[in-house]
Amino acid sequence: MPRAPRIAIDPALVENYVLSLARHGEYAGTGVWRTVYSPEWVAAADQYARWCEEAGLSVRRDAVGNVWGRLEGREGGKAIVSGSHIDTQCPGGRYDGALGALAGLIAIKALKEQFGPPRRPLEAVALCEEESSRFPAAEFWGSRAVVGLVPPELPDQLVAYEGETMSQAMRAIGLDPAAIASARRDDIAAFVELHIEQGPILEKADLPVAVVDAITGIRHYLVELTGESNHAGAFPMDARRDPMAGFAEIAGGLIATAHRMGRPAVTTIGRVQVEPNFPAIVPRKVTFTVDARHPDPLERAALYARHESLMREVAARRGLDIHWEVYMDLPPCPADPALVATFAAAAREQDIAFATMASGAVHDAQQMAAIAPMVMLFVRSKDGRSHTPEEFSSVDDMVAGIRLLAAGLYALAY
C-alpha cells in the first residue's frame, strides 16, 4: 500500500463546516436539535450536498435521503466510503454524527486537491438517521436501507413520537417510501466511520484519536421480580418475600460483576418501577432493565451467564418469582483486521498518537459491516460528554482525526 506524504487538513475549514452545519437546528447555544426529515435536517442535507459539489464530487441522494458525494477512481471498482449520520438527539451536540459525515467529505476534498484523482472511487456520505430521536424504532434507518434491511412494510409501521408514520414523514419531503429497496448498495469495498468517542478513555489517556477494533455487543433485559405485598409495620422482616430486597441485592451484584470483569465490560440498571410504590407497603413487584455490554464474544457470554445465574440465585433464596425478557440483543461487531492495521500504520506514518479500543456505543458502521469490511476512528470528547449541547471536541483533535482518515483512505484508494 502506498504511504501517504504528510496530508494537510485546514483547521479553519473544519471549524467552519462543523459550526455551519450546526446552525441547522441550532438549540440553546451549543446544542443541535435535528431529527430525520425535519426542515432543519433537510437544510443540513442540502448544505452537505452543496459542499460536496463545491469539492468537485458528484452528488447523489438515495431513496431514504442519504447524501453521497463521489470522486471517481481511474481504475473503477468498488468504492471506499466514509461518513456518518447527520440527525441528532433532542437535543444533541454539534459533533455526534455530523463530524463523521463532514470528515469523509473534508478528507476526500483534501486528497483530491493534494494528490489528484484516486485509483479507486472514494465516496463521502451523510447518513440520514441513526439516533431514533424522531421514530423510536427507526434504528439506523439510513444505513439499514443501504444494506437492504428495511422490509417494504416497515415505513407504514414505524410511528414517530408525534404520531406520524415514517411513510408520511418521507412523503412530506418528497421521498417515496416504495423506492427504499433501491437504496441498497453492493458496490462498497470498505466503510470507514469517524465519530466522536462519547466517553472519557482518550481524554484520560491524553490521546487525540483511536482506531476502533470492535463495536460492543449489547443486550437489554426487562426483568420482573415478584414477591408479596404486606404491611410495612406489622409484617416481620424474616417472613417477607420482598422484591425490593431482592432487587437491591441483584442491582449491587450485577454492577459488581461488571466491575470485577473490568473494562470494557459495562452493566447498567437504568430504569426501575416499583409496585405499588408507597412508603408503608412492602412492594409486590419490582420491574427493571439491565443493559449489559462487552465487545468480546466469549467475555460477553460469560457476563450474561453470570448476570442470569445471580438473578436466579437471589430470587430462589428470597422466595421471589423472577421472569425476564431479552428485548434487544446485538452481537459484537469486530472491525476488519486488515483495515485496523491500515489505519494504525497510517497513524504512525502521520505521527499521530493513537489508542486502539472498542466502541461501547452502537454505530452505523455495524450495519454497514453486513455488506463491507468496516473500521471506525474515534476523536477525543471533552469530559467524555455526548448526547448533550455540552459535547465538544477541539479543532486540533478533529484535524488529527481527519488527517488520519485521509491517510488511511489514501492507502486504500491511491
For residue 115, the Cα-to-chain-centroid distance in whole angstroms is 32
Pick from 29, 30, 64, 69: which is nearest to 47 by CA? 69
- Nearest position to Zn ion, beta carbon: 97
Distances in Å between the alpha carbon of 241 and those of 103, 184, 307? 56, 54, 21
**CB 148 to Zn ion: min, Å:** 22
Cβ of residue 255: shortest distance to Zn ion, in angstroms?
26
199 in contact with Zn ion (CB under 5 A): no
Q: Is the dihedral angle over the CA atoms 350, 354, 356, 358 positive or is it negative?
A: negative
In angstroms, give the least distance from the CB of 97 to Zn ion.
Answer: 4
For residue 286, give the H/E element and its range: strand 285-294
End-to-end CA distance of the chain: 8
Helices (H), 173-291: 201-205, 243-261
Residue 336 cell numbers, joined = 476488519
Which lies closer to Zn ion via its Cβ, residue 303 or residue 376? 376
CB of residue 85 vs Zn ion: minimum separation in angstroms? 6
Q: Please report where in the chains the cell 414517530 appears, as a residue.
A: 160
Question: Which residue lies nearer to Zn ion by CB, 198 or 229?
Answer: 198
Task: Give, as ranges, the residues between 80 and 119 that touch Zn ion (CB under 5 A).
Answer: 96-97
Nearer to Zn ion, 97 or 104 (CB): 97
| Residue closer to Zn ion, measured from CB, 97 or 332 | 97
Q: Which is nearer to Zn ion, 96 or 242 (CB)?
A: 96
Helix (H) or strand (E) holding 243: helix 243-261
Instruction: Provide the minimum distance between the beta carbon of 95 and Zn ion in the complex, in angstroms, as a whole number.
Output: 9
Query: Kind of pairing, strands 266-268 and 209-215?
Result: unpaired
Of residues 97 and 121, the one with the C-beta less far from Zn ion: 97
Q: How many CB atoms lie within 10 A of CB 216?
A: 24
Distance CA 247, CA 288 (A): 8
Interface with Zn ion: number of residues (CB under 5 A): 2
For residues 240 and 199, what is the distance between their CA atoms, to the nearest angstrom?
42
Nearest distance in Å: CB 206, Zn ion: 24
Whole-number minimum distance, CB 359 to Zn ion, in Å? Answer: 10
Return the number of the residue (70 or 85) whose C-beta is nearest Zn ion. 85
* Interacting residues toward Zn ion by CB under 5 A: 96-97
